[in-house]
């Protein structure tokens, strides 16, 4: 199975887009998304210096536009992607790239949202002197205890030995004076404490915008940063992306879900290297491909063909699937039969995993057309559980 991933802020480097923009098709599409964002992303991807593209207002739109246009180079006929890609995920702002790739939102919606996200997060960061420090090595449990002692948030939990602490500069100074055992601290060149309570003003702004954004359910399994679960409701995907601005990125749980799915290959969209680097250490046996330059496209397509497997999610808009968010055992409730009409948020069972027992609901309700699993069946993340048909005004 193939998973496509999109990196987050910090992956960009000066001039990384120069070879891509030599292609007139890429350049035209990129200029369009630059126009939508109202930012000269062409200049920022080619001639702007490192300090300029570090600016949150610039970095985030630059990353999302780069991933979206490169995806069209990799899959010139987007429908072909659904015969190859088993799952998608994005780290932090990369979730917007992944959501657009899965057709939850359009590319244009993604660019407006990321423009506003970057502005709002930069404004929130300016309110209080805050920052982020990478904590490399050490016992994860001990690292988390030390961060809590200093009032810091584990804003990114990327893998064992890779945690990013975030908080006020005073809290980070206290951490530097009292670090976890066997850990190395590296201050990060970022504007503020992303994915913490300090970003609450940005969440409020984005939540207001999100109410006017139309969504569709993902056509590919989409793995959420919040908890590593596969999310198949478009409104839930959008709500999670808004909330993620002030909540930690659990990339470690995303990788666990990829392994539960049976992923054999991970391809990272440009500017690639960060997430495949983490995967090489944390996902033993999974082949990786970092797509950095256009001269790699033929090899990237061969990689996709080698690992590709069609998404098992039904793209037919007249049906609505309820899927399992995690790996586990499905417990089907008694008394819910084919032909029954369920109201919004009606329970349709539970999935028990090693971590917990998760209730499953039909967010939009509908008539039960077909049960796709039986009671006590083992299920994978993103596996369809029941097929519903909207009733009356239900979406």
CA-CA distance, 394 to 392, in Å (whole number)? 6
Which of these, 294, 279, 195, lies nearest to 243 by C-alpha position? 195
Query: Any idea which residue has 């982020």 for tokens?
Result: 132
Cβ atoms of 30 and 107 closer than 8 Å: no
Please, what is the Cα angle at 166 between 162 and 169, to 5 degrees? 130
Look at strands 230-231 and 2-6 and give their pairing: unpaired
Q: 33: Cβ–Cβ under 8 A, 6 or more apart, which residues? A: 41, 65, 68, 69, 107, 108, 111
Partnered with residue 389 across adjacent β-strands are 367
Number of other residues whose CB lies within 10 A of the CB of residue 356: 10
| Token pair for 375 | 């009671």
Query: Any idea which residue has 């998608």 for tokens?
Result: 88
| Token pair for 372 | 């796709």
Which of these, 85, 118, 115, lies nearest to 102 by C-alpha position? 85
Q: Indicate the SS3 state at residue 233.
A: coil
Catalytic residue among 44, 91, 150, 195: 195
CA-CA distance, 127 to 381, in Å (whole number)? 40
Catalytic residue among 66, 92, 224, 246: 92
> Rounded to a whole number, what is the largest CA-CA distance in the chain?
64
Q: Is 150 a catalytic residue?
A: no
CA-CA distances (angstroms) from residue 380 to 79, 83, 330, 364? 24, 19, 10, 22
CA-CA distance, 20 to 8, in Å (whole number)? 19
Q: Is 92 a catalytic residue?
A: yes
Active site residues: 92, 195
């Amino acid at each position: 199975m193939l998973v496509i991933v999109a990196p987050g802020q910090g992956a960009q480097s000066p001039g990384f887009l120069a070879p891509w923009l030599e292609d007139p098709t890429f350049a035209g599409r990129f200029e369009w998304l630059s126009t939508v964002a109202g930012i000269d992303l062409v200049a920022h991807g080619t001639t702007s210096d490192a300090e300029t593209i570090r600016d949150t207002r610039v970095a985030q739109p630059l990353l999302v536009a780069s991933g979206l246009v490169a995806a069209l180079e990799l899959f010139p006929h987007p429908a072909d992607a659904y015969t190859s890609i088993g799952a998608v995920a994005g780290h932090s702002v990369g979730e917007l790239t992944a959501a657009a790739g899965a057709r939850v939102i359009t590319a244009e919606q993604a660019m407006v949202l990321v423009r506003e996200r970057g502005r709002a997060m930069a404004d929130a960061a300016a309110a209080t002197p805050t920052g982020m420090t990478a904590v490399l090595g050490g016992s994860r449990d001990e690292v988390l205890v030390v961060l809590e002692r200093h009032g810091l948030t584990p804003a990114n939990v990327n893998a064992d030995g890779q945690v990013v602490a975030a908080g006020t500069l005073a809290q980070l100074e206290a951490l530097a004076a009292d670090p976890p055992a066997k850990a190395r601290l590296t201050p990060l060149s970022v504007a503020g404490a992303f994915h913490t309570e300090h970003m609450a003003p940005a969440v409020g702004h984005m939540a207001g915008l999100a109410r006017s954004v139309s969504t569709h359910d993902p056509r590919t399994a989409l793995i959420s940063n919040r908890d590593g679960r596969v999310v198949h409701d478009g409104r839930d995907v959008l709500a999670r992306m808004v909330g993620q601005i002030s909540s930690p990125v659990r990339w470690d749980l995303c990788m666990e879900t990829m392994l539960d799915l049976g992923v054999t290959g991970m391809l990272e969209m440009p500017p690639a290297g960060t997430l495949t680097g983490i995967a090489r250490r944390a996902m033993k046996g999974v082949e990786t491909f970092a797509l950095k330059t256009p001269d790699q496209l033929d090899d990237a397509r061969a990689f996709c063909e080698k690992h590709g497997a069609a998404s098992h999610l039904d793209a037919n808009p007249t049906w609505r699937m309820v899927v399992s968010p995690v790996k586990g055992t499905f417990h089907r409730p008694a008394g819910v039969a084919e032909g029954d009409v369920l109201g919004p948020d009606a329970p349709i069972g539970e999935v028990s995993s090693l971590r917990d027992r998760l209730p499953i609901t039909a967010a939009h309700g509908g008539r039960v057309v077909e049960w796709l699993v039986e009671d006590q069946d083992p299920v994978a993340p993103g596996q369809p559980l029941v097929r519903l048909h909207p009733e009356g005004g239900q979406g």
